[in-house]
């Protein structure tokens, strides 16, 4: 019988070798799949909209980059921008700058109560003449009003509130009382005929809030009560190069197309443009053209009305000069600033007691709000009222727009200053936002639209934390004129930037902040923070408008080739994944650095949540500062792709190595244990005159067959996977197997003293129970019991190590969004790998246990014959395995702890627990097998 036949005959050797080979194949296969999935995930998500961020000086530094890149500090000149564009490796170089902060006064809010008096031939004849959109007089509704014929006394309480998402602040609250009633038509005899006017009923006092708010007034269709003025609304404006910005954003940047058609700098005279639009009205303009907007150099200026009204107002007040330029703007649609205006209406008696709650009317700045355009976002309606003003025809485009021009300022809201805190195991860094100075917000405009000074005492000022830095050039610029070319949706831009490796584009895609813990550090339900009324708060909203660099020049003024560019986002022309493009991108970054600029390679980055503690966020009336708590914001983790790939690849390989080494060690234990069963055979051979050396060779030949099979499997796997790790792992398994074989063969040595066992020692524990019986049996077969215990301990340690690695995958991957994605892509294969490792280990321990199975069954049969009942026999089986388990527990737990500390210190404790659980689980399983 040759060695191959003997190998096949000894089914245990065949079985263990087969298990090992299958484990090797499966493990390598799964690991390859896992690695491929990891590489694919990283490759697909490793490059964002741009590869290199160029700034004049280093940003926050470190591997975690804060998202604010448009800060108004400038530092990059246009010559340098051109230099970047001229580099051969540059595909797109898109500059961005914070232009200005713009403060606007919204039109005074008003409360309108329906006060329609019905058909009047005179009104119809004049008001609807020449208005094709007007309603035919025959279809006018019947006269009606929400007010009574006899005036009633009302109390109006107007208030404005603003919330930052965590708490709400009342900006002001003002009350006015007076009587209101249904209007009446008063026919008066005037020179040349009769005149009709609308007047309040007899005895109506009207309602008047403090100056500058006007009093109540009966109009054609409504009673209008002028309310206290709304607070200032501040927006920021950023400048981009529309052509390169569109190239950066792709189709998502199409909203910038109108800006490309804006006239050059020398054709932007505000006066000339204003006169051009005035001439349109002088010469006559069609209704359809008014609806769509008149054409201006190829762009339909839908929002021409605000331009006109602001032009006329600025001209009237003398602000507009010959140097004033129009600034083309793409304005944000909607707002995330939480500003709510409300009016509570109560009917009261002469003593001031409330007779009836009429209701509360309120409105917020919302998605319909457009900076530089929305004139009256706080036109409130009396409860139960209907607006009949459209009866005169659609006048929407005529009335839409702000009356007063915006105030442009270079007092920028600077980003908070961050300091690093503790670093978590996955690399996430806690931060603290250092607050700046206090400023007072809720200011009223200094003058009304009519130029009268405003009584500032009508409001209580509100303190807000500000982060300001005065960057004024000192040059007093001519007042610019906002010229709205179109709108953009910040949410759509954010979506285009992607979720995983979202890179900051600039001021028009701010990174949201979420409050996660309160000031005491307790978890709170996630609350998205909103920009409050102050533009200088922690949270900023998307820029109110985007202009081009001519617009920036008009707003701030700069000499030729001034260094006004805050950042340039550069996309390299190298195609492919980050791994493929890395050399080209690095080379390009170095070339940019050679120009004296700071070039940060952001390809291969990913967004990562930073936890930021914000102290001193609010101040109470006594001036005591309070912390906001901890907020979460996405920053940019540089080199995330490399870190994720490197870390997870290492984890993957360790998992593979651990699985196979565990299997190999168990095979060794199993082999050694098996060899003891062949001592009888060795004795027979020895009796036949074989030498010890010949006997050892006889056995080793059988192992050589198994080793040969393992080697073949290793070579095939290495060739298939073409991976150095596979070669190393296969070689390691082979070495372990051979070592086990040599040890096993060595154990077949002649034992002269085999039957010279000492007589029974009375000091041994008496056998009087299943437990003591099991103990005695294990003592008798000490070698096999210890072998089995070691095997089970190795099994426990391996399980612990696998569990530690599996738990550690998210930490090893890091805290970035790419990490989560990558960890998810390798999670399943890793779990499969881990489970297969556990299964192989379990099978091998059971195989080891089976070597004693025949002997165990024999003595269990003897006990049964002696009248031991099934329950006691079960106890014997259980206690035997429990005692082996008791020896294996420290091995398993300490082994798992050690492996855990070595591979994944953060999960070492879990590894120890897993090792313990694995050994404890083995006990009932092995008990069942013996049964």
Binding site for another protein (CB under 8 A): 755, 757, 759-760, 762, 766-770, 773, 776-777, 779-781, 858-859, 861-872
Residues 6+ apart with CB under 8 A from 882: 774, 923
Question: Strands (DSSP E) along 66-208, which ranges?
Answer: 90-104, 110-116, 144-145, 152-163, 168-180, 184-190, 193-199
Contact criterion met (CB below 8 Å) for 528 and 560: no
Contact criterion met (CB below 8 Å) for 12 and 706: no
Q: Shortest gap between Cβ of 750 and another protein (angstroms)? A: 18
Measure the CA–CA gap between 912 and 776, rounded to whole angstroms.
30
Closest CB to another protein among residues 743, 872: 872
Closest CB to another protein among residues 693, 760: 760
Closest CB to another protein among residues 348, 860: 860
Closest CB to another protein among residues 522, 782: 782
Q: Shortest gap between Cβ of 662 and another protein (angstroms)? A: 32
| 375-390: b (≥16 Cβ within 10 Å) or e | bbbbbbbbeebeebbe
Distances (CA, A) of 858 to 30, 61, 327, 680: 42, 74, 99, 18
Distances (CA, A) of 612 to 63, 419, 562, 625: 16, 9, 35, 18
The encoded tokens of residue 565 equal 């560019």
Q: Shortest gap between Cβ of 853 and another protein (angstroms)? A: 15
For residue 612, give the H/E element and its range. strand 606-614
Question: Strands (DSSP E) along 385-480, which ranges?
Answer: 407-409, 411-413, 417-423, 429-434, 438-441, 462-465, 468-470
Q: Shortest gap between Cβ of 863 and another protein (angstroms)? A: 7
Q: Rounded to the nearest 5°, which phi and psi values hold at 838?
A: -65, -45
Q: Shortest gap between Cβ of 869 and another protein (angstroms)? A: 4
The encoded tokens of residue 596 equal 């004296």
Closest CB to another protein among residues 526, 768: 768
Partners of residue 538 on adjacent β-strands:
none
Q: Shortest gap between Cβ of 759 and another protein (angstroms)? A: 5
Helices (H) and strands (E) in the chain, counts: 23, 35
* Helical spans, DSSP H, in 264-399: 270-283, 287-292, 304-317, 396-399
Q: Shortest gap between Cβ of 876 and another protein (angstroms)? A: 10
Q: Shortest gap between Cβ of 38 and another protein (angstroms)? A: 51
Closest CB to another protein among residues 401, 770: 770
CA atoms 469, 473, 475, 477: torsion sign: negative
Would residue 202 be called left, alpha or beta, if left means φ above 0 and alpha means ψ between -120 and 50 degrees? beta
Measure the CA–CA gap between 27 and 838, rounded to whole angstroms.
12
The encoded tokens of residue 468 equal 């300001």
Q: How big is the chain by its Cα radius of gyration, in Å? A: 42
Closest CB to another protein among residues 174, 781: 781
Residue 334 DSSP symbol: S
Q: Shortest gap between Cβ of 784 and another protein (angstroms)? A: 12
Closest CB to another protein among residues 707, 860: 860
Closest CB to another protein among residues 770, 834: 770
Closest CB to another protein among residues 266, 755: 755
Residues 6+ apart with CB under 8 A from 759: none
Measure the CA–CA gap between 756 and 508, rounded to whole angstroms.
91
Q: Rounded to the nearest 5°, which phi and psi values hold at 597?
A: -110, 160
* Helical spans, DSSP H, in 723-769: 724-746
Contact criterion met (CB below 8 Å) for 740 and 672: yes
Measure the CA–CA gap between 8 and 843, rounded to whole angstroms.
19
**What HEC string does 681-698 produce?**
HHHHHHHCCCCHHHHHHH
Q: Shortest gap between Cβ of 775 and another protein (angstroms)? A: 10
Q: Shortest gap between Cβ of 864 and another protein (angstroms)? A: 6
Q: Shortest gap between Cβ of 4 and another protein (angstroms)? A: 32
Q: Shortest gap between Cβ of 855 and another protein (angstroms)? A: 8
Q: Shortest gap between Cβ of 878 and another protein (angstroms)? A: 16
Q: Shortest gap between Cβ of 888 and another protein (angstroms)? A: 21
């Amino acid at each position: 019988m040759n060695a191959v036949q003997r190998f096949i005959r000894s089914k245990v050797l065949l079985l263990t070798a087969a298990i090992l080979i299958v484990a090797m194949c499966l493990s390598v296969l799964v690991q390859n799949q896992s690695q491929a999935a990891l590489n694919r995930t990283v490759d697909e998500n490793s490059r964002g909209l741009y590869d290199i961020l160029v700034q004049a000086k280093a940003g926050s530094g470190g591997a975690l980059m804060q998202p604010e890149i448009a800060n108004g500090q400038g530092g990059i000149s246009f010559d340098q921008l051109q230099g970047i564009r001229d580099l051969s490796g540059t595909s797109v170089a898109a500059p961005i700058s914070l232009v200005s902060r713009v403060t606007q006064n919204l039109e005074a809010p008003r409360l309108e109560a329906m006060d329609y008096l019905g058909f009047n031939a005179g009104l119809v004849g004049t008001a609807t003449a020449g208005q094709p959109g007007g309603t035919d007089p025959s279809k006018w509704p019947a006269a009606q009003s929400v007010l009574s014929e006899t005036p009633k006394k009302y109390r109006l309480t107007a208030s404005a509130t603003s919330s930052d998402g965590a708490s709400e602040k009342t900006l002001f609250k003002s009350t006015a009382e007076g009587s209101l009633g249904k209007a009446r038509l008063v026919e008066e005899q005037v020179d040349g005929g009769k005149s009709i006017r609308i007047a309040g009923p007899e005895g109506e006092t009207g309602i008047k809030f403090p100056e500058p708010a006007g009093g109540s007034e009966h109009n054609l269709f409504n009673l209008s009560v002028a309310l206290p003025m709304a607070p200032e609304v501040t927006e920021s404006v950023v400048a981009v190069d529309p052509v390169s910005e569109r190239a950066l954003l792709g189709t998502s940047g199409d909203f910038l197309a109108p800006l490309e058609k804006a006239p050059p700098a020398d054709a932007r005279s505000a006066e000339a443009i204003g006169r051009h639009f005035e001439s349109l009205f002088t010469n006559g303009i069609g209704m359809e053209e008014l609806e769509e907007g008149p054409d201006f150099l190829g762009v339909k200026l839908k929002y021409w009305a605000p331009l006109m009204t602001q032009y006329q107002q600025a001209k009237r007040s003398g602000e507009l000069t010959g140097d004033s330029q129009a600034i083309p703007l793409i304005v944000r649609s909607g707002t995330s600033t939480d500003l709510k205006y409300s009016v509570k209406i109560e009917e009261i008696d002469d003593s001031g007691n409330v007779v009836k709650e009429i209701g509360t009317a309120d409105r917020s700045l919302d998605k319909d709000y457009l900076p530089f355009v929305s004139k009256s976002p706080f036109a409130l309606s009396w409860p139960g009222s209907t607006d009949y003003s459209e009866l005169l025809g659609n006048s929407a485009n005529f009335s839409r727009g702000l009356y007063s021009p915006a105030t442009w300022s270079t007092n920028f809201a600077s980003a908070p200053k961050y300091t690093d805190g503790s670093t978590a195991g996955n690399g996430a860094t806690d931060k603290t936002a250092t607050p700046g100075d206090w400023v007072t917000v809720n200011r009223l405009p200094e003058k009304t639209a009519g130029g009268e000074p405003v009584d500032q005492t009508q409001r209580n000022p509100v303190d807000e934390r500000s982060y300001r830095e005065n960057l004024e050039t000192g040059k007093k610029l001519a007042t610019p004129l906002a010229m709205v070319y179109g709108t953009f949706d910040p949410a759509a831009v954010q979506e285009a930037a992607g979720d995983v490796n979202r890179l900051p584009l600039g001021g028009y895609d701010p990174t949201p902040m979420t409050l996660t813990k309160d000031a005491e550090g307790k978890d709170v339900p996630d609350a998205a923070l909103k920009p409050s009324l102050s533009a200088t708060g922690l949270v900023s909203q998307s820029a109110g408008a985007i202009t081009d660099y001519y617009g920036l020049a008009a707003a701030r003024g700069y000499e030729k080739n001034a260094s006004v560019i805050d950042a340039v986002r550069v996309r390299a022309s190298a195609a492919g994944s980050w791994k493929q493009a890395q050399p080209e991108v690095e080379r390009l970054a170095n070339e940019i650095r050679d120009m004296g600029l700071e070039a940060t390679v952001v390809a291969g980055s990913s967004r990562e949540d930073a936890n930021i503690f914000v102290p001193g966020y609010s101040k109470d009336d006594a001036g005591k500062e309070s912390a906001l708590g901890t907020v979460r914001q996405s920053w940019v983790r540089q080199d995330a792709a490399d870190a994720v790939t490197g870390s997870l690849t290492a984890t993957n390989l360790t998992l593979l190595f651990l699985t196979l080494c565990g299997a190999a060690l168990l095979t060794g234990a199993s082999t050694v244990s098996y060899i003891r069963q062949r001592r009888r055979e060795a004795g027979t051979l020895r009796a036949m005159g074989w030498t010890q050396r010949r006997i050892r060779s006889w056995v080793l030949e059988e192992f050589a067959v198994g080793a040969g099979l393992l080697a073949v499997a290793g070579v095939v796997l290495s060739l298939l996977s073409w991976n150095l790790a596979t070669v190393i792992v296969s070689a390691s398994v082979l070495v372990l197997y051979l070592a086990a074989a040599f040890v096993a063969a060595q154990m077949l040595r002649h034992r002269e003293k085999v039957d010279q066992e000492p007589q029974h020692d009375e000091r041994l524990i008496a056998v009087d129970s299943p437990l003591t019986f099991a103990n005695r049996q294990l003592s008798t077969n000490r070698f096999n019991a210890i072998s089995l215990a070691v095997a089970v301990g190795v099994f426990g340690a391996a399980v612990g190590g696998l569990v530690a690695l599996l738990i550690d995958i998210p930490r090893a991957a890091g805290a970035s969004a790419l990490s989560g994605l990558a960890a998810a892509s390798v999670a399943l294969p890793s779990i499969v790998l881990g489970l297969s490792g556990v299964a192989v280990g379990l099978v091998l321990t059971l195989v080891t246990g089976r070597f004693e199975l025949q002997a165990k069954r024999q003595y269990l049969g003897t006990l049964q014959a002696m009248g031991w009942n099934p329950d006691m026999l079960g106890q014997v089986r259980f206690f035997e395995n429990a005692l082996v388990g008791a020896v294996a527990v420290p091995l398993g737990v300490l082994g798992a702890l050690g492996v855990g500390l070595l591979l994944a210190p953060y999960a070492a404790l879990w590894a120890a627990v897993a090792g313990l659980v694995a050994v404890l689980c083995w006990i009932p399983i092995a008990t069942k097998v013996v049964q």
